A and B are shown apart, each in its own frame.
Chain A
Amino acid sequence: MNDVRADLKNLKIGVYVCHCGKNIADVVDVKRVADFASKLPGVEVAREYLHMCDDVGQEMISKDIMELGINRVVVAACSPKVHELTFRDTLRKAGLNPYLLEMANIREQCSWVHRSDPDRATEKAIDLVKMAVAKARWLIPLETKAVEVTRSALVIGGGIAGIQAALDVADNGYQVYLVEKGPSLGGRMGQWSKVFPTMDCAACILTPKMVSAAQHPKIKLLTNSELIEASGSLGNFKVKIRKRPRYVDEEKCTACGLCAQKCPVRIPNEVDFGMSSRKAIYITSPNAVPLAYSIDGENCLYLKRGICRVCERVCEAKAIDFDQKEEVLELRVGSIIVAIGYDPFDPTPLEEYGFGRYKDVVTGPMLERMTDPMGPTGGAILRPSTGKPPRKVAFIQCVGSRDARFNLYCSRVCCMYAIKDSLIIKEQNPESDVYIFYMDIRAFGKGYEEFYLRSQEAGVKFIRGKVSSIREDPRTHELVLRYEDTLLGTALEDSFDLVVLSVGQVPRADTDAISKILGIPRSADGFLMEAHPKLRPNDAVVDGIYLAGSAQYPKDIPDAVAQASGAAARALIPLSMGQVYVEPISPLIEEDRCGGCGVCVKLCPYGALKLEEREDKRVAKVDEVLCKGCGTCSAACPSGAVRSRMFTEEQILSMISSAAG
């Protein structure tokens, strides 16, 4: 109970001001900051040094703890997100409770943002240090708590990243629930025919992976399923999965296809981006895993209007089962890997390119489907308007990417897929002319530059310049491109009979829903945010949740697979440790102050609070596993009984008064 009341006697605060090489010291007068800090009440020693996080810097701190009896440590350096754990460890090793540390962020909040005004940056650094010292006076020793882990993982998304992550976790011997929204595995990679730079057949390398995942004894594959609710934290998540009925018994279905032949409903096929049609009972690909048909409840005549049932009559295996019901499964898992992938950018808003208006303007992914032997054209690249092979094809790069109107980022795959498709066109029709209009060709991966050279050798023409508009010649239906060749410095026009818009990757439409359910934020580009852009690219901001594939940022296949293995390795840490140490973030409820008013109970977004009846009294109780330490309860508690251990009222008020006074 007393641990929320700080020991203000015998305060010996040590302040350590870091130069961060030149990152801080170039702008902030670190010596002045340290001099100022040394005069603050309770400060025993204030030092400055080149890199507080290196061995010498840490040694400096631990020596002061041991020799001078420093019992509160203030490190003025970078963001606590970067090095708080480092310095907590320093304290722990020197025998001081690791939570008696406070950091003042004088890098991200001073030197980096106020580079043009060193004097005021220094003033601000002094203020931040002053506030950190004020807070440090009220710091209280805290203990981390060990919690048993549920040794299983949830993988959301059955694309190549999700499959790889699921396989890696399962191969380590832990149970995996692989949740896929659609009726089969494969994701975006399952839509592609050949993949750069090796020109492998995607299905040939993907199918074995899908089969291994589906047959793995440790992987429970949940298709037609999606995450609808999640609670808990690292090591112990509770998730709810909605599993929509397939209306086909996966075990019985032989995928003979008779049902689809007879099904009277014809709707645009999303796998082919609408270039072909499918039936209400369908399979995404002849290689689908699981290899079973699925009835689309939105379009089935029987399910919508109670008529038809022709599939049921023709199915020899008696696999059709209209009695299947939607289920909600409740699972407990220790880690969650989010691999929900991406959507291709929709170029309709770029009116100057006329996508949707001109038949022969297609997107890269549409062209990709044409190259697939199972695709809408049986593998032949054809002009949609005529059904004949094109003679002159233009690729327009960076459509929707690197464009301030849409997405500033580079989508990383469009250069290479355009080059790959240009080679396929050249293979199919060596006489055809292929032009790629580009801003920069980014051939950064292994074998990519060589691949780029190969296309140049094959006669693909690269024109550095952005196409400003496309218009269709009403007579010939040829597409006239207006562009500037920036190498020649002239504006030109040229006619083509097929234009491919190399659209990039955007966050999947359901990214927002997943972000809200899991409480993991998105970055400015809309993709799911990583815990640290350099040092923790596989981790979501919430502990225990990991990111794989294009859900985090546009990726090509090797990068998605590599990140998936990385995410799996990260997700395995809590599973193999068996215990996780929970940061003391949950609030302390002081029972001798809680009158049981109930204000906090419904507020908690994680359902971690309840009123416990005690004889004739009521007292609020927190479930430490469910609590995420958001502090909502402690801000709302009207009687000061619910306290955020790392942000006590005394700490916050002393910071405010030191800043104001």
Chain B
Amino acid sequence: MGRNRLNLAIGLGATCSGCDITIVDLAEYLPKVLSSVNIAFWPTAADLKLKDLEAMANGSIDLCLYHGAIVNEENAEMARLLRRKSKLMVAFGSCACFGGVPGLANLATKDSLLETVYGTPSTDNPKGLKPQGEALVGEYRMAVPKRLDAVLPLSGVVEVDYSIPGCPPQTSQVKDAFEAILSSDLPPRGSVIGPAKNLCDECPRKREGKSISKIVRAHETIADQERCLLDQGILCMGPATRAGCDAKCIKANMRCEGCMGPPDGVGDQGAKMLGAIASILGLEGEDKMSEEDVARLMDGIVDPVGLFYLFSLPSSILRRRLWEV
């Protein structure tokens, strides 16, 4: 272990571990990373235990990439522990940055969520058991981490120094982050590693001033490859989404789902996109539309939260459901 090597930790919350794959995806750059770091903690790849981590001195880890949302007490505790041990805490991937896909659980309250998962007619659970946190099993006291009231992004429990969004992040962002850290050329704290602008900046498609006269869902059509998807009525999230992915989905003729989260200067990605869509929906001929026409047009938005907040509900103004109605 060379003394100059960075102590690197990779922490996991509620994650699919796709973010781990991004690191492996560094490919030809990976050896350079591995030769300049010392893996202090990475449950996916290295056999280190919690007690090993606890034994480390505070601040002894140079860089912690934390991926996954904060869903239960274990996630929160691990985040706090890693924060104490790390000089730099990075929210890695959209779950850590904004709550991500697991964050859609915030559409339900904790109780109704458990009810749905453990109590629907299709669930084989005759005793109606639900996770209790602690339970006595024979002579053993068993504990399952308690679910928090709501899914949180990493910044909901600890202070975050940098964010690398994406589902998963692009290898280029990871590379940029490592280069910056290895060369000690860090951007201002709080920065997001990635371009400041929205995806439209990278999008090669031709576009016009916008007015959507009919909403088309992606599976209902084969989109024109050349023209802006929004101009074709497909609700592409690109305008409210940070660039940096090189418009991969767009180039595959698929709409942007918004995984990179909001660009610089936007707090609430979904609200911004909703504002934009509401503004351009039926803009031309608006004065001739009846209330019913407007309602019919709006009905084209199926599953608005899933559309506008697929990756960012917990960090939006909405955050979560507080009670069932």
CB of A632 within 8 A of CB of B265, answer: no
Q: How many interface contacts (CB-CB < 8 Å) are there between A and B?
A: 103
B197 at the interface (CB under 8 A from A): yes
- Measured in the bound complex, the distance between the Cα atoms of B265 and A179 in whole Å is 48
Interface residues on A, range: 20 to 34
CB of A593 within 8 A of CB of B197, answer: yes
B279 touches which of A592, A593, A599, A640 (Cβ 8 Å): A599
CB of B201 within 8 A of CB of A596, answer: yes
Complex interface: chain B residues within 8 A of A596 (CB): 200-201, 207
Take A602-B210, A638-B273, A639-B198 as given contacts and tell me if A595 and B263 are in contact as well, using a CB distance cutoff of 8 Å: yes
Take A598-B207, A601-B210 as given contacts and tell me if A638 and B199 are in contact as well, using a CB distance cutoff of 8 Å: no
A648, closest chain B residue (CB): B265
CB of A595 within 8 A of CB of B210, answer: no
Complex interface: chain B residues within 8 A of A636 (CB): 275-276, 278-280
A550 to chain B: closest CB distance in Å? 29
A603, closest chain B residue (CB): B279
CB of B280 within 8 A of CB of A595, answer: no
- Measured in the bound complex, the distance between the Cα atoms of B199 and A298 in whole Å is 56
Interface string of A577-600 (1 = CB under 8 A from B): 000000000000010111111110
A475 at the interface (CB under 8 A from B): no
B280 touches which of A594, A599, A617 (Cβ 8 Å): A599
A20 at the interface (CB under 8 A from B): no
CB of B272 within 8 A of CB of A639, answer: yes
Complex interface: chain A residues within 8 A of B196 (CB): 592-593
A593 touches which of B207, B211, B238, B263 (Cβ 8 Å): B263
- Measured in the bound complex, the distance between the Cα atoms of B228 and A565 in whole Å is 54
B301 at the interface (CB under 8 A from A): no
A649 at the interface (CB under 8 A from B): yes
Docked complex: A641-661 residues within 8 A CB-CB of B: 641, 643, 649, 653
CB of A593 within 8 A of CB of B239, answer: no
- Measured in the bound complex, the distance between the Cα atoms of B264 and A638 in whole Å is 11
CB of B266 within 8 A of CB of A640, answer: yes
B283 at the interface (CB under 8 A from A): yes
CB of A640 within 8 A of CB of B238, answer: no
- Measured in the bound complex, the distance between the Cα atoms of B200 and A598 in whole Å is 9
A597 to chain B: closest CB distance in Å? 4
A617 to chain B: closest CB distance in Å? 7
Complex interface: chain B residues within 8 A of A593 (CB): 196-198, 263-265
Complex interface: chain A residues within 8 A of B203 (CB): 595
Name which of B196, B201, B265, B278 has the most chain A CB atoms within 10 A of its CB. Answer: B265
Complex interface: chain B residues within 8 A of A56 (CB): none
B201, closest chain A residue (CB): A595
Complex interface: chain A residues within 8 A of B284 (CB): 602
Docked complex: A146-164 residues within 8 A CB-CB of B: none
B243 at the interface (CB under 8 A from A): yes
Docked complex: B270-308 residues within 8 A CB-CB of A: 272-273, 275-276, 278-280, 283-284
Interface string of B251-270 (1 = CB under 8 A from A): 00000000000111111000
B236, closest chain A residue (CB): A597
Complex interface: chain A residues within 8 A of B230 (CB): 597, 599
Name which of B198, B199, B207, B230 has the most chain A CB atoms within 10 A of its CB. Answer: B198
CB of A637 within 8 A of CB of B267, answer: no
- Measured in the bound complex, the distance between the Cα atoms of B282 and A603 in whole Å is 11
- Measured in the bound complex, the distance between the Cα atoms of B243 and A595 in whole Å is 9
A636, closest chain B residue (CB): B279
B240 at the interface (CB under 8 A from A): yes
- Measured in the bound complex, the distance between the Cα atoms of B199 and A641 in whole Å is 13
B208 at the interface (CB under 8 A from A): yes
Tell me the interface secondary structure of chain B in the complex. loop
Complex interface: chain B residues within 8 A of A641 (CB): 197-198, 265
- Measured in the bound complex, the distance between the Cα atoms of B276 and A640 in whole Å is 11
A611 at the interface (CB under 8 A from B): yes
Complex interface: chain B residues within 8 A of A635 (CB): 275, 279
Interface string of B220-250 (1 = CB under 8 A from A): 0000000010100000001110010000000
- Measured in the bound complex, the distance between the Cα atoms of B240 and A638 in whole Å is 5
B209 at the interface (CB under 8 A from A): yes
- Measured in the bound complex, the distance between the Cα atoms of B209 and A577 in whole Å is 37
A516 to chain B: closest CB distance in Å? 10
B238, closest chain A residue (CB): A597
CB of B279 within 8 A of CB of A639, answer: no
- Measured in the bound complex, the distance between the Cα atoms of B278 and A111 in whole Å is 37
A649 touches which of B211, B228, B267, B283 (Cβ 8 Å): B267
- Measured in the bound complex, the distance between the Cα atoms of B263 and A601 in whole Å is 20
Complex interface: chain B residues within 8 A of A603 (CB): 279-280, 283
- Measured in the bound complex, the distance between the Cα atoms of B277 and A599 in whole Å is 8
A107 to chain B: closest CB distance in Å? 31
Complex interface: chain B residues within 8 A of A602 (CB): 209-211, 280, 283-284
- Measured in the bound complex, the distance between the Cα atoms of B278 and A653 in whole Å is 20
CB of A638 within 8 A of CB of B266, answer: yes
CB of B263 within 8 A of CB of A599, answer: no
CB of B266 within 8 A of CB of A595, answer: no
CB of A599 within 8 A of CB of B265, answer: no
- Measured in the bound complex, the distance between the Cα atoms of B238 and A611 in whole Å is 17
Complex interface: chain B residues within 8 A of A640 (CB): 262-267, 272
B196 to chain A: closest CB distance in Å? 6
**What are some 17 contacts across the A-B interface (CB < 8 A)?**
A592-B197, A595-B198, A595-B201, A595-B203, A595-B243, A597-B210, A598-B200, A602-B209, A602-B211, A635-B275, A636-B280, A637-B276, A638-B240, A639-B200, A640-B265, A640-B272, A649-B267
10 smallest A-B Cβ distances: which pairs? A640-B265, A601-B209, A595-B201, A636-B279, A595-B200, A602-B209, A638-B239, A639-B198, A595-B198, A638-B240
Q: Given contact pairs A597-B239, A599-B279, enumerate 11 new A-B contacts (beta carbons under 8 Å).
A: A592-B196, A593-B263, A593-B264, A594-B197, A599-B210, A599-B280, A602-B284, A636-B275, A639-B263, A640-B267, A649-B265
